[in-house]
């Protein structure tokens, strides 16, 4: 039934796109989310664009976020812009249309030079220093509330993981960090959302654009790299996080990251554990390992935490 519903929706979306003058292109994207389809399109003039299909309500917010950033010093006033240009939102199908840049996500580039990773961190620092004005904010208190909601959802979908994930949420609440500053934050800064184009880097997927502590984005990048290595079955370490912190501090030496970094790493791991359960259930066996690492991160910074029950 679900497959039939998805097929029907795709056909309806395609009809809407055709009516607005778009045509399907032959390009296929490897990296994506199970809950969000991405289509390569051509405009009437032959310009390449991307259509992203969102669950009900998500596309409008993301389009507004992208417009906000596009009008800022990180967008059209920057050379080159730090994101693809948002072009159109089709509310009848909840589809966002944006400029298609020739390139691939950093996640797909196993042989990418170290400088590309460093350039991505510098791009993040530019976003944090931009005059973009998010509408909402994500304080450390809100991050704890979000972790509680994600733990509740994990309990609903995979109750066997409750003894592993609940102690992490309790430890996060006890170790809640004080925000050093609130900066325009991408909110999902990972190799999946760093597009390496021919002559530039650009950030994509602006669903979570908010005011937040800069450590949140830096920690999420490091945690994403750690989890990606773990999912491949390799030995995971935190060298990417260490590199990200070093590059970021070289660009913004007055930024305060380290006191709250372990809190944001642990929160990121809870968020990724939830994603595994919700979107990639075939890999949810990794949830206890993510929970143990989250507790270890908090413990090594001096916070008192209990073991998973």
The per-residue pLDDT string of the chain (309 residues; one tens digit each, 9 = 90 and over) reads 344 456 777 788 889 999 999 999 988 777 666 667 889 999 999 999 999 998 876 799 999 999 999 999 999 999 999 999 999 999 988 999 999 999 999 999 988 899 999 999 999 999 999 999 999 999 999 999 999 999 999 999 999 999 999 999 999 999 987 898 999 999 999 999 999 998 899 999 999 999 999 999 999 999 999 999 999 988 889 999 999 999 999 999 999 999 999 999 999 999 999 999 999 999 999 999 999 999 999 998 655 555 554
pTM of the model: 0.93
The residue segments making up the domain with residue 137 are 105-299
Same domain, 188 and 46: no
Same domain, 139 and 33: no
> What is the per-residue pLDDT for 4?
46
Same domain, 75 and 192: no
Q: How many structural domains does the chain have?
A: 2
> What is the per-residue pLDDT for 36?
76
Q: Determine the distance from the C-alpha atom of residue 208 to the mean position of all C-alpha atoms in its chain, rounded to a whole number.
A: 7
Same domain, 190 and 284: yes
Same domain, 79 and 120: no
- Judge whether 306 lies within some domain: no
Spatial strand order of the sheet with 183-185 comes to 137-138, 210-212, 183-185
Q: What are phi and psi of 136, to 5 degrees?
A: -115, 170
Same domain, 24 and 84: yes
> What is the per-residue pLDDT for 26?
83
Same domain, 118 and 261: yes
Using alpha carbons, list the distances in angstroms from residue 56 to 53, 61, 94, 104, 237.
9, 11, 7, 27, 37
- DSSP secondary structure letter of residue 40: E
Same domain, 179 and 283: yes
């Amino acid at each position: 039934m679900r497959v039939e519903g998805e097929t029907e929706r795709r056909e309806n979306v395609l009809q809407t796109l055709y009516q607005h003058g778009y045509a399907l292109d032959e390009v296929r994207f490897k990296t994506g989310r199970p809950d969000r389809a991405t289509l390569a399109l051509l405009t009437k003039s032959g310009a390449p664009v991307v259509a992203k299909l969102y669950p009900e309500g998500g596309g409008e917010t993301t389009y507004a976020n992208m417009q906000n950033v596009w009008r800022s010093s990180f967008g059209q006033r920057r050379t080159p812009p730090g994101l693809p240009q948002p072009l159109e939102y089709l509310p009848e199908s909840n589809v966002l249309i944006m400029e298609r840049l020739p390139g691939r996500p950093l996640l797909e580039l196993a042989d990418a030079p170290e400088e590309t990773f460093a350039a991505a961190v510098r791009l993040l620092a530019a976003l944090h220093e931009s005059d973009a004005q998010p509408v909402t904010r994500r304080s450390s208190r809100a991050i704890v509330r979000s972790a509680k909601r994600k733990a509740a959802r994990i309990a609903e979908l995979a109750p066997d993981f409750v003894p592993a994930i609940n102690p992490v949420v309790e430890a996060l609440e006890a170790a809640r960090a004080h925000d050093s500053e609130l900066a325009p934050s991408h909110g999902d800064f990972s190799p999946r959302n760093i597009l390496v184009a021919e002559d530039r880097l650009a950030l994509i997927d602006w669903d979570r654009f908010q005011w937040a502590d800069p450590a949140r984005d830096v920690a999420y990048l490091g945690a994403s790299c750690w989890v990606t290595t773990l999912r491949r079955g390799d030995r995971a370490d935190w060298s990417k996080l260490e590199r990200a912190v070093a590059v970021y501090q070289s660009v913004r030496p007055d930024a305060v990251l380290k006191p709250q970094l372990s809190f944001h790493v642990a929160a990121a791991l809870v968020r990724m554990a939830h994603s595994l359960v919700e979107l990639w259930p075939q890999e949810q066996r990794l949830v206890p390992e993510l929970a143990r690492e989250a507790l270890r991160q908090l413990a090594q910074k001096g916070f008192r935490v209990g073991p998973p029950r």
